[in-house]
């Protein structure tokens, strides 16, 4: 090779590196409005996933707080809905470094932020969620599981071009609720992609999901069981649902439909279905009329999560200075940033009936897979998850036992060949919101590949 060629190649490498660095630097968050001082870096911005249709996904990377984030794995977090924002929930109420204060103009630190252990990548997925947008408005009406997964894979590849230091890094996917679909689906996409490429830059090691939608039939049966055993519904309604509902068919018969509607309208009452023993947020404070969970029982009436906390996020992330600091919404999306998109939820096109076949494939491929469940959630309850997982017919490796934190039972766990199941005692749908310390220990143990402590 001539010196000229060598020099040209060298120059090109330098230029690329410089422009890469510049691209990253453009996404750096100097500081969020009202943010306390922190010892970690943050980046956020857009990755285009479909040029022609103008779909771009918004991300927020919170690097690990530890001395050297380069040695820590990368963890993607996804919220469910479908249509809910990982920034509204995951980042701001659950595992993120900040909590939005009551005034919705300042932030405080979350002692149990998962970025103490890993670099956390919050993704607003699919397009139409939060700051993620599409220039093709029909995209809001024809989104579904499939596009969500393929856009997410595109996102990851392109994001790693912008952040090449994360290529080949240990990578995990995490999420909750309807992300019980997204997470294993994306894992499988990556798995297939890696199999067909000689240089697998996405070094997927496994995934962890909480209160996860898993199998329509078993989830629904388990949910009705939960309602009765937690005294939410009457004997009459329980019996009618059990005798008349066929949860394998996509449409329910009238008798089943009526019984479920009766339960919603006359029996449930204004409890927080996502955390049945905590006081529910003042009724007038949020829109609690729409469903945020497809593929579970018909017409879930209450939006759930904590509408009081949601409202703070909806104030904070709509502030122009916040959007400016996050490099968000520079295309001027014609609607406000919301915690969940009802458009997406109501028009969800394709939804996998059961994730169990996907689990089977990923278990066979040897990924680390953990499923957890906050046991005071009535929306995707622990009975639903247990019933669903039991149909994987896995061999028990470590028998059911209570795990401990600070001398108290944090929950129960059982390790199967290829999957670990754990409950979190007294936690609602959003485990890290209701039991932050227990949720954090769970995440730590997952990352370390260690069973939860017996004392």
Q: Write out the residues near a second copy by the rule CB under 8 A.
A: 225-226, 228-237, 266-271, 276-277, 279-280, 282-283, 373, 375-376, 382-383, 386, 390, 396, 399-402, 404, 407-409, 411-412, 414, 423, 425-426
Those residues with Cβ within 8 angstroms of residue 326's Cβ, 6 or more apart along the chain or in another chain: 29, 32, 44, 45, 60, 131
Which residue of the set 113, 143, 174, 177 is catalytic? 177
Torsion from C-alpha of 401, 405, 408, 414, nearest 10 degrees: -10
Catalytic residue among 377, 378, 388, 445: 377
Closest approach, Cβ 206 to a second copy, in A, equals 23
Say which residue the tokens 């949020």 belong to. 286
Of 248 and 390, which CB lies nearer to a second copy in the complex structure?
A: 390
Minimum distance from residue 181 beta carbon to a second copy (Å): 23
Minimal distance, residue 322 CB to a second copy, in Å? 32
Closer CB to a second copy, 150 or 234, in the complex: 234
Beta strands, E only, 140-279? 170-176, 203-210
Q: Active-site residue 177, yes or no?
A: yes
Task: Report residue 408: phi and psi, to 5°.
Answer: -115, 150
Q: CB 175 → a second copy: shortest distance, Å? A: 21
Q: How far apart are CA 267 and CA 244, in angstroms?
A: 18
Question: Are the CB atoms for 341 and 316 separated by under 8 Å?
Answer: no
The answer to whether 404 and 410 have CB atoms below 8 angstroms apart is yes
Considering the candidates 50, 181, 191, 429, report the single residue annotated as catalytic: 429
Question: Nearest-CA neighbor of 430 among 352, 362, 376?
Answer: 376
Comparing CB distances to a second copy, the nearer of 125 and 413 is 413
Instruction: Choose between 110 and 383: whose C-beta lies nearer to a second copy.
Output: 383
C-alpha distance across the termini of the chain, in Å: 64
Q: Which is nearer to a second copy, 145 or 176 (CB)?
A: 176
Instruction: Provide DSSP, 119-139.
Output: EEEEEE-STTSTT-EES-GGG
The SS3 of residue 370 is strand
Shortest distance in whole angstroms from residue 376 CB to a second copy: 7
- What is the C-alpha to C-alpha distance for residues 453 and 438, in angstroms, rounded to an integer? 11
Q: What does the alpha-carbon distance between residue 422 and residue 426 come to, in Å, rounded to a whole number?
A: 13
Residue 324: active-site member: no
Of the pair 319, 425, the CB lying nearest a second copy is at: 425
Structure tokens at 192: 């297939």
Q: Give catalytic residue positions.
A: 177, 377, 429
């Amino acid at each position: 090779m001539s010196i000229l060629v060598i020099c040209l190649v060298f120059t090109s490498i330098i230029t690329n590196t410089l422009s890469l660095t510049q691209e990253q630097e453009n996404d750096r968050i100097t500081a969020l409005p009202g943010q306390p001082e922190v010892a970690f870096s943050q980046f956020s911005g857009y990755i285009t996933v479909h040029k022609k249709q103008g779909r771009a996904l918004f991300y927020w990377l919170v690097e690990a707080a530890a001395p050297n984030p380069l040695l820590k794995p990368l963890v993607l977090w996804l919220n469910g809905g479908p249509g809910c924002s990982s920034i509204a929930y995951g980042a701001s109420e659950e595992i993120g470094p900040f909590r939005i204060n009551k005034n919705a103009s300042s932030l405080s630190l979350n002692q149990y932020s998962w970025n103490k252990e890993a670099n956390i990548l919050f993704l607003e997925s699919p397009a139409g969620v939060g700051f993620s947008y599409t220039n093709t408005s029909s995209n809001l009406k024809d989104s579904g599981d499939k596009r969500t997964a393929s856009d997410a894979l595109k996102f990851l590849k392109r994001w790693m071009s912008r952040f090449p230091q994360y290529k080949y890094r240990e990578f995990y996917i995490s999420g909750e609720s309807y992300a019980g679909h997204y997470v294993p689906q994306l894992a499988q996409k990556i798995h297939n992609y890696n199999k067909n490429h000689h240089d697998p830059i996405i070094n997927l090691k496994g995934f962890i999901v909480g209160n996860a939608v898993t199998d329509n039939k078993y989830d629904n049966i388990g949910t009705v069981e939960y309602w009765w055993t937690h005294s939410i519904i009457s004997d009459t309604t329980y019996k009618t649902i059990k005798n008349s509902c066929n949860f394998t068919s996509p449409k329910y018969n009238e008798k089943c439909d009526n019984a479920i509607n009766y339960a919603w309208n006359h029996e449930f009452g204004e409890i927080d279905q996502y955390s049945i023993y905590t006081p529910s947020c003042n009724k007038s404070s949020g829109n609690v009329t729409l469903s945020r969970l497809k593929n579970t029982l018909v017409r879930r009436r209450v939006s759930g999560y904590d509408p009081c906390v949601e409202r703070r996020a909806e104030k904070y992330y709509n502030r122009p200075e916040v959007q400016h600091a996050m490099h968000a919404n520079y295309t001027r999306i014609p609607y406000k940033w919301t915690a969940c998109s009802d458009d997406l939820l109501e028009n969800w096109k394709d939804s996998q009936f059961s994730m169990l076949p996907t689990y089977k494939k990923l278990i066979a491929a040897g990924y680390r897979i953990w499923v957890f469940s906050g046991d005071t959630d009535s929306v995707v309850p622990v009975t639903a998850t247990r019933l669903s997982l039991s149909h994987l017919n896995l061999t028990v490796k470590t028998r059911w036992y209570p795990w401990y934190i600070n001398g108290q039972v944090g929950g129960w766990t059982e390790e199967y060949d290829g999957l670990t199941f754990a409950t979190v005692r007294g936690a609602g749908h959003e485990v890290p919101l209701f039991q932050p310390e227990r949720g954090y220990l769970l995440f730590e143990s997952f990352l370390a590949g260690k069973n939860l402590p017996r004392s």
